[in-house]
Amino acid sequence: MRRLEIIAVEGLGEIRSGDSLGRLVVEACERLAVALHDGDVLVLAQKIVSKSEGRSVDLRTVDPSAEASRLSAELDGKDPRLLELILKESRRIVAKGRSTIVVETHHGFVCANAGIDLSNIGVDHALLLPEDPDGSARRVRQDVQQLTGRAVGVVITDTFGRPWRLGTTDVAIGVAGFAPLIDYRGQTDPYGYELKASVTAVADQIAGAAELVMGKTSNVPAAVVRGCELPPHDGSAQDLIRPAEDDLFRGQ
CATH code, 96:
3.90.1660.10
Closest by alpha carbon to 238, among 175, 171, 154? 175
pLDDT more than 90, % of the chain: 85
The answer on 235 and 161 residing in a single domain is: yes
Higher pLDDT among residues 22 and 123, named by residue: 22
Encode pLDDT of 199-238 as tens digits: 999 999 999 999 999 988 788 999 999 999 999 999 999 9
91 membership: H or E segment, kind and range: strand 90-97
pLDDT, mean over the chain: 95
The answer on 208 and 143 residing in a single domain is: yes
Say if residue 244's pLDDT is above 60: yes
Say if residue 252's pLDDT is above 60: no
Say what the pLDDT of residue 111 is.
95
Report the C-alpha gap between 217 and 204 in whole angstroms: 21
- Is position 248 within any domain? no
Say what the pLDDT of residue 250 is.
66
Say what the pLDDT of residue 251 is.
52
- Number of structural domains in the chain: 2
Report the C-alpha gap between 145 and 152 in whole angstroms: 7
- Is position 247 within any domain? no
Residue 63 structural domain? 57-127
| Mean pLDDT, residues 40-45 | 98
Q: Of the candidates 68, 100, 127, which is a domain's last residue?
A: 127
Show the 3-state SS of 40-82.
CEEEEEHHHHHHHCCCEEEHHHCCCCHHHHHHHHHCCCCCHHH
Say if residue 120's pLDDT is above 90: no
Say if residue 11's pLDDT is above 70: yes
The answer on 38 and 19 residing in a single domain is: yes
Handedness of CA 203, 51, 24, 10 (dihedral sign): negative
The answer on 169 and 120 residing in a single domain is: no
- Is position 249 within any domain? no
Say what the pLDDT of residue 12 is.
95
Say if residue 192's pLDDT is above 80: yes
Closest by alpha carbon to 238, among 127, 93, 135? 135
